[in-house]
A and B are shown apart, each in its own frame.
Chain A
């Protein structure tokens, strides 16, 4: 199965990273068209009609999100969420590294639609190379008059700042991102008010993921109908999918939404090594409830993943083959969320802590099968009870692993009781 490269088109050409290279492939022509010939409402309508769904995890309509921003003269902001930190996700890294100008053009056009005069790219601090590349690209765009004051003589202004985070998964949560950008500890805020109404510095703020914004130039250039020609009715467009774990060719592959998951894992990523089989996979990053080999033929869409009790999330598949111990994988997953919990609200802070402790007991053989019921009930008590989705993001996959692989958990408890297993 070949890839369908739209966002990653020409990404194999290192020159694409430069302004000259990007313009050679037609780059910034959409920005010119939008700024010179289009009204903000026209751009917004195109984005809404395209059905583009957020590529950061929630899958909410991008155009609708932008339309929630109030009209008026108040200062509005646009934040590009480049804090990609979900285990399994590395697609934004690729998009920023190989095609930074596509993102900048997308931000400028989306800012026009949202009437935002100040934009930020909040990039995780670990992505130092990509931040350097963005810094250079932003400088080039300013120099060329695509950013700054009076863009292309249209009397429209846009300031764009690349802001490096400093290592905290929680800052990918949009309200925590706003706090971090305001110079605070990255704690999530209570919602409502939603950022579209009251976001950065109290002003209306549009927050979109890197891949979402990278889709904007293509949609505005070719129209909503063109975009809907890819993918399914409910999941239009292409998706850059990160495939990793037990596969022979891990990497980012761009496909039309709706391709069978099997083809992504086997045809593109090479499948597990010879003689090995897929035992489980996270379809949408480590926060998504794991699916099993039986689910491999599901079309890779938001709706099909939801119907199977999981989610497409950020579009990151982690494959576990038959050698991987699910209880150990559950522990590894829980430890991550425990480490990254900001500690602001109780169900998440305590729930992740106790889940790690109980799963450690499981793999050490100190648990009883009854403890598995307690693990499961803790997860149920986390879901829906936290300020943000970080707690749920542990509870969903861990809950699914205990439910779907209970026999294996019981076997690990029994086996570990006989001999010490390193944790």
Chain B
């Protein structure tokens, strides 16, 4: 039996970055907000502390902060004609669980999309001709411009206490920053994270080739910083225990460290953790989601929470699953290409390299997740694709995020994986290895999508999301191009030896590659081509606002969190300044 609770003004389904941003902005506007989160509440002063956070076994190997696949997972296949099988334990990507979501264990690289990324279909057509984009490449312009989002990117930078070097301040190019970025209204709140030996050698080599290296921008405070919420963040310790792990100094930004300390004090906000939302209750005639149904994991009881506004702020897969199960919007049908919910799934195409310098000391174990030097010369439309045979691009980085001893040991290819010879090579090279990454775009393709699995169900009996994904040939060529540029830089670094690590042509669900999943509830200019409008408002339910990377029409060559954070502030601004005055569609269909 379902217990019906009393109405609230707004409810968030999921409580990571976007749930927290929306809850904070809506309570500030006077609304009573309930935050629903499937996992536990995570409190920095209690859960992110020394020495327990510096545990590679618990966090990096056993994935303590990640989703519980015994409750919920997805199924996967490379191609639509194959049998999809469940991901029995997550690997290639690691959605988080608990307050803060994936934004606790993330690498905290904080990027903005390029201005041309937001109008990529138009930009490619203008530059390469109206027939240049292949038929199966279903990319779309975003319904917002870089200039629309800039104030909200800036806002998110400041919430996070971001560190970096501006390369374009109000149109003025600044050497040492990313000269390809769109104009920024303001500097980063903090100076860049310090660079390591490897990063400095990389920067010199890149410069010698005419490229434009700069320190990787991060949502990590390089110095103590008080954000606009009045929350003080600590300075980065370069501890090397960063990826997949929570930050003990509250330097690496999370909703828990930057927003929740203020939000928890607000009586208009109520957090309900360990509450798993199983259903959006949709009134199709009224075009509203009237309530959400959840199970309280502590007593097994079901509750119905009516709300004036519903913020759908779970991970990409959860957002799509909720819409498909509730019948909101038309499901994407691969055979006909019709329908939109589940369409334009994209991933991030990463490939790397390792180089070895026998006479250089790298002290590889220190670093922070975003500690590195990067070039953006081959991202998006920063370079001419004429004659290259692909579209898209990515950044090319020397990452010095720390080399934890279980997973961070790099040895030259051809080294045995065990035995005395392996041990000698490990000891020989541990202090002398540098690691590199190319992070490329994945442009949407009609064969990459999500729908409901016909066979497998979650712990609540709901069909799992079925993911069909393989990087199109376009992406494989793009990655090969980035690797060739990276190889040029590595050669200029004059290593003792190096190895390039291209990805196989067939995507594999293990090992870890990237948690950057996007699409499925794409935003757009009209309901014929998109699931949500430019304010992330559902075309089919005007009180439903879908947050996160599921609204990206395709994945550009940047980490998604900067853009999804900016979109959350932009959406919240539309709700508080427009929707509350006149609840209804903010864009006429």
Partners in one complex: no
> Residues on B close to A: CB < 8 A?
none
> Residues on A close to B: CB < 8 A?
none
